[in-house]
Structure 1
């Protein structure tokens, strides 16, 4: 495994653990949400991160790390929802839900590895604030695609945007040294 894959898996492991704990608290209540609602949830998190980055001060104690985790988990939820468009199933066993989560992570990690090959891990030289802006740009692209009922002329669809947002959020946490710190604390 590459350094990036190890770090990626460390971050995702912590995100999945939180996802599973929230599933025990709330179940799969998120199944009621439509994709635009999930996109808006991601927007709220990214906007808060940008606001804190710009102001340099926050009044709510929760750090931006938690917001990046939220972006990751909401992106995965959105991709699960997108994959289950024709399903009315509301409840899933822990095993089923874990498999659905892992499937989306595996696809997104595969995309990351291909892009890392082509781009030479350029994200490692980017600022967290720039990646936050890219997440926001992807959100606005996704909203436009949603407003166009999923129709695009030459662009990728919503799933590719969710994957990119997920990957940028993971990159931000890696850049902040967060994944390794969390693994060392466990």
Structure 2
């Protein structure tokens, strides 16, 4: 919301595929840093996971905002949608945690990164298929899963 106040809703210009690619860039950087153990840019993976969370929320908002809606949106409207998507995803996380017994707590952060990358590849395929799926969840469910994996990684990294 702070960036929305600084920049407005410039993110509205992004097509869904571009948002997916932004998430991919962040997840790929995390994986590269996990493997190489050295960063040439003075930014750790925490900021990248936070970026994944925010881009997933932006993606879910874009999916619901009609294409004819003006690019510049009122901050209050954006905040309401942001909170709505956050809460929906949080409820999904609680439901899945119940069913899976919080298995993520025993996972490695690198596995969470890999799961995000796998979900991204799925979303890219769905986007390439013009949103058509035969048996799988749509892109929103994948964005929700990626967001939750990023939150789990942030928790494991000690971010509050």
How does the TM-score come out when normalised to structure 1? 0.84
Matched position secondary structure for 2:123: helix
| Count of matched residue pairs | 160
Shift of 1:154: 0.2
**Structure 1 partner of 2:34:** 53
Counterpart CA distance in 2 for 1:42 and 1:72 is 9
Consecutive unaligned residues in structure 2, runs of 5 or more: none
Say what the alpha-carbon RMSD is for the aligned residues.
0.9
TM-superposition CA deviations, 1:51-106 (whole Å, max 9, x none): 00000111000110000000000000000000114442322222111101000001
Q: Would you say 1:172 and 2:145 are equivalent positions?
A: no
Counterpart CA distance in 1 for 2:79 and 2:86 is 11
**Structure 2 partner of 1:16:** none
Question: Which consecutive segments of 4 or more residues in structure 1 shift more than 4 A?
Answer: none
Equivalent positions of 1:36-47 (< 5 A) are 36-47=17-28
- The equivalent position to 1:123 in structure 2, one of 71, 93, 104, is 104
Counterpart CA distance in 2 for 1:113 and 1:88 is 33
Bigger shift: 81-90 or 33-42?
81-90
Counterpart CA distance in 1 for 2:67 and 2:77 is 17
Q: Would you say 1:69 and 2:57 are equivalent positions?
A: no
**Structure 2 partner of 1:80:** 61
**Structure 1 partner of 2:126:** 145
How does the TM-score come out when normalised to structure 2? 0.97
Counterpart CA distance in 2 for 1:38 and 1:28 is 14
Shift of 1:23: 1.1
Matched position secondary structure for 1:99: helix
